[in-house]
Amino acid sequence: MTGQGNSPLALTQEASGSESTSTESASKQKNQAGHTVVTTTKPGLLPTKVTAAIQIPASHFVNIWKNRNPVVPGQPAKVPDAAQIDQIKQSTIKEIEDAVRNLIPPVPQGTNQYPFITVASYEYIPSAPIAAPTLTDTVLEYLGESWRTIGMIAVGLVSLVMLRGMIRGAAPAPAPAAEAVDGPRLGVTEEEEEEEQVVESTLRRKFDASGPNLKQELQLLVKEDPDAAAAILRNWIGDAA
């Protein structure tokens, strides 16, 4: 027995058979008669009852009559009678009721179409005119509203007056002017007084005439005779005062 080992074997194709494919489907149908579906949505908080109350002044009906019956120039004014005014009143009220009726929700047919509408008239009574406020009332009202501002202004004025008084009190008082003494002074002889008068007249002339050495001459006089210079200055100050 001879074996082939790992020898390859030839494969032969077998005869192929016929193939088939099948598909299945299913459907259902339901027929129904045609109809209409209506959906109604109502808003929330819809008022179900609305009332109206209207007041008309009685003079309004008279004005309507006057407008329809103007005064003819040269003739006296006509006066309406009660029947004419009542007729105008009834027609006016009916017009107002019809106008208001279209503004409220509808009511069932066969019922009162104006169940919640009331139209009436009233007599106009003129009131007394309001008196104008007096000047005193106006001033008091202004003070009541602006007392803070007025108080601040008053405090400011008082402070200014006090400050002015303090400044005047702190200012130094002027030195009293030396009083002129008639006759010879005590402790001064006639010769010394004459010498002072001569020096004074000389010094006055020097002060009257402007010059570059005026300051030096005054210093020299003070050094030579300080008492006389002081006496002269006192007399000058007294004369100036």
Asked if 61 and 119 count as a contact pair (C-beta separation under 8 A), the reply is no
Question: What's the rounded Cα separation, in Å, for the pair 89 and 120?
Answer: 9
Asked if 104 and 52 count as a contact pair (C-beta separation under 8 A), the reply is yes
Q: Which residues neighbour 61 within 8 Å (Cβ) at sequence distance 6 or greater?
A: 85, 88, 89, 92, 121
Angle at 212 between CA 210 and CA 215, to 5 degrees: 90
Which residues lie across from 120 on neighbouring strands? 55
E strands, the chain, are 52-57, 117-122
User: What pLDDT does residue 73 have?
Assistant: 85
Question: What's the rounded Cα separation, in Å, for the pair 214 and 208?
Answer: 10
The tens digit of pLDDT for each residue in 177-192 reads 444 444 555 555 666 6
Angle at which helices 214-224 and 190-208 pack, to 10 degrees?
Answer: 170
Question: What's the rounded Cα separation, in Å, for the pair 6 and 25?
Answer: 54
Low pLDDT (below 70) residues in the chain:
1-18, 169-193, 195-226, 228-229, 231-241
Q: Which residues neighbour 207 within 8 Å (Cβ) at sequence distance 6 or greater?
A: 214
Which residue, chain included where needed, has tokens 């005869």?
15
Question: What's the rounded Cα separation, in Å, for the pair 196 and 198?
Answer: 5
User: What pLDDT does residue 180 have?
Assistant: 44
User: What pLDDT does residue 56 have?
Assistant: 92
Type of residue at 147: W
